[in-house]
Amino acid sequence: MKKQWTGAEIRQSFVDFFVSHGHTFVPSSSLVPGGDQTLLFTNAGMVQFKDVFLGTDVRPYTRAVNSQKCMRVAGKHNDLDDVGRDDTHHTFFEMLGNWSFGDYYKKEAIAWAWELLTEVWGLDKSKLWTTCFKDDKGSIPSDEEAYANWVKQPGIIPEQVLFNGRKENFWEMADVGPCGPCSEIHIDRGAEYCNKQAVPGHICRVNGDCARFTELWNLVFIQYNRLSPTDLQPLPATHVDTGMGFERIVSVMQGVNSNYRTDLLFPLIQTVQRLTGHTDAEVAGNFTPYRVLADHARAATFLITDGVVPGNIGRNYICRMIVRRAARFGRKLGLGEPFMAKIAQTVIDTYGAAFPDLRRNHATILDNLTREEQRFQRTVDAGLGRLNELLGELRSRGETVLDGQEAFDLYATLGLPYELARDEARDQGLDVDETGFRQAMDEHRIASGAGKAFGAQGGEHVDIFRGVLKNLIAAGKLTVEGVAYDPYESLEVKDRLLAIVKDGVSVTDAEAGDTVAVVLSKTCFYVESGGQMSDAGSIQSVSGPAWEIAVEETRKPAAGVIVHIGKVTRGSPQVDDEIFAVVDTQRRWDIMRNHTATHLLHAELHAVLGEHARQAGSLVAPDRLRFDFTHPEAIPAETLEKIEAGVNQAILENYRLNTTIKPLAQAIAEGAMALFGEKYSETVRTITIGSHLSEGGSHLSEGGSHLSEGGQLLPISYELCGGTHVGETGDIGLFLILNEGSAAAGVRRIEAVTGRGAYEVVQRRFKALKQSAALLGSALEDVPAKAQALLDDAGSARKQIQRLRQDLVAAEFVRHLAEVPFVADVPVLALVLPNADADTLRQMTDRFRKQYPSGVVVLGSAVDNRPALIACVTDDLVKRGLNAGEIVRTIAQVIDGSGGGRPTLAQAGGKDASRLQEAIDQVVPIVKAKLK
Of residues 134 and 212, the one with the C-beta less far from Zn ion: 212
CA distance 267 to 260: 9
The tally of CA atoms less than 13 A away on the side-chain side of residue 771 is 6
Q: What is the 3-state secondary structure (H, E, C) of 801-849?
A: HHHHHHHHHHHHHHHHHCCCCEECCEEEEEEECCCCCHHHHHHHHHHHH
State phi, psi for 482 to the nearest 5 degrees: 85, -155
SS3 state of residue 86: coil
Question: Whose Cβ is closer to Zn ion: residue 690's or residue 855's?
Answer: 690
User: Residue 194 or 250: which CB sits closer to Zn ion?
Assistant: 194
In angstroms, give the least distance from the CB of 210 to Zn ion: 3
- Of 629, 619, 708, 726, give the one whose Cα is nearest residue 673: 629
Closest to Zn ion by CB, 317 or 589: 589
In contact, 144 and 173? CB cutoff 8 Å: no
Distance from chain centroid for Cα 542: 47
Give least dist CB 603 to Zn ion, A. 11
Please identify, using beta-carbon distances, which residue of 203 and 281 lies nearer to Zn ion.
Answer: 203
How far is 440 from 647, CA to CA, in rounded Å?
Answer: 46
Least distance in angstroms from the C-beta of 624 to Zn ion: 16
Evaluate whether 692 touches 700 at the Cβ level (below 8 Å).
Answer: yes
Nearer residue to Zn ion within complex by CB, 623 or 760? 623
Q: E-assigned strands of 574-667?
A: 578-583, 615-620, 625-630, 657-663
d(CA 491, CA 644): 31
CB 147 within 8 A of CB 161: yes
Q: How far is the CB of 631 from Zn ion (least distance, A)?
A: 19
Least distance from C-beta 627 to Zn ion, angstroms?
A: 11
Question: Which of 128/194 has CB closer to Zn ion?
Answer: 194
What count of Cα atoms within 13 Å lies in the side-chain half-sphere of residue 798?
6
Q: Which is nearer to Zn ion, 723 or 757 (CB)?
A: 723
The answer to whether residues 288 and 84 touch, using CB atoms and an 8 Å cutoff, is yes
Q: What angle do CA 139, 145, 151 make, to 5 degrees?
A: 125
Task: Give the residue ranges of DSSP H helices in 88-221.
Answer: 106-115, 144-151, 166-169
Q: Which is it for strands 578-583 and 492-496: parallel, antiparallel or unpaired? A: antiparallel
What single DSSP character describes residue 458?
Answer: S
Sheet of strand 615-620, all strands in order from the earlier edge strand to the far edge: 615-620, 625-630, 747-754, 735-744
Q: How far is the CB of 193 from Zn ion (least distance, A)?
A: 8
Shortest reach from residue 568's CB to Zn ion, in Å: 33
The distance of closest approach from Cβ of residue 685 to Zn ion in the complex, given in angstroms and rounded to an integer, is 9
Nearer to Zn ion, 156 or 600 (CB): 600
Closer by beta carbon to Zn ion, 194 or else 605: 194
Instruction: Assess contact for 374 and 338: CB atoms under 8 A.
Output: yes
What's the closest the beta carbon of residue 721 comes to Zn ion, in angstroms? 3
How far is Cα 457 from Cα 16, in angstroms, rounded to an integer?
A: 33
Instruction: Provide the minimum distance between the beta carbon of 735 and Zn ion in the complex, in angstroms, as a whole number.
Output: 15
Residue closer to Zn ion (CB basis): 44 or 204? 204
CB-side neighbour CA atoms (13 Å) of 478: 27
* Min CB(717)–Zn ion separation in Å: 9
- Return d(Cα 629, Cα 72) in angstroms, integer: 25
**Three-class secondary structure of residue 50 per DSSP:** helix
Task: Pick the closest to residue 715 from 599, 827, 876 (CA basis).
Answer: 599
Quote the least distance from Cβ 660 to Zn ion, whole Å: 14
Residue 40 vs 750, nearer CB to Zn ion: 750
- Phi/psi class of residue 503: alpha, beta or left (left: φ > 0; alpha: ψ in -120 to 50)? left
User: Please, what is the end-to-end C-alpha distance for the chain in angstroms?
Assistant: 112
Nearer to Zn ion, 307 or 860 (CB): 307
Would you tell me which residues interact with Zn ion (CB under 5 A)? 194, 196, 204, 210, 212, 721, 723
Question: What minimum distance in Å lies between the beta carbon of 523 and Zn ion?
Answer: 20
Minimum distance, C-beta of residue 159 to Zn ion, in the bound complex (Å): 19
Q: Are 776 and 789 in contact (CB under 8 A)?
A: no
Residues 454 and 176: their CA atoms lie apart, in Å, by: 11
What count of other Cβ atoms lies within 10 Å of the Cβ of residue 441? 21
Least CB distance to Zn ion at residue 680 (A): 12
Kindly list the strands in the beta sheet with 822-823, ordered across the sheet, starting from the edge strand earlier in the chain: 822-823, 826-832, 856-863, 866-873, 905-909, 898-901
C-beta of residue 268 within 8 angstroms of C-beta of residue 294: yes
Q: Are 33 and 534 in contact (CB under 8 A)?
A: no
Q: What contacts 800, CB < 8 A, 6 or more positions away?
A: none
Min separation Cβ 618 and Zn ion, Å: 8
Q: Distance of alpha carbon 253 from its chain centroid, rounded?
A: 37
Q: How far is the CB of 186 from Zn ion (least distance, A)?
A: 13
Nearer to Zn ion, 214 or 845 (CB): 214
Nearer to Zn ion, 96 or 643 (CB): 643
Which residue lies nearer to Zn ion by CB, 650 or 877?
650
For residue 532, the 8-state DSSP code is B
> What is the nearest approach in angstroms of Zn ion to the Cβ of residue 439?
36
CA distances to 8, 271, 333, 419, 832 from 250, rounded to whole Å, are: 9, 20, 28, 31, 90
Which one, 65 or 597, has the nearer CB to Zn ion? 597
Indicate the residue among 206 and 318 with the shorter CB distance to Zn ion: 206
Per the rule left: phi > 0, alpha: psi between -120 and 50, beta: everything else, 711 is left
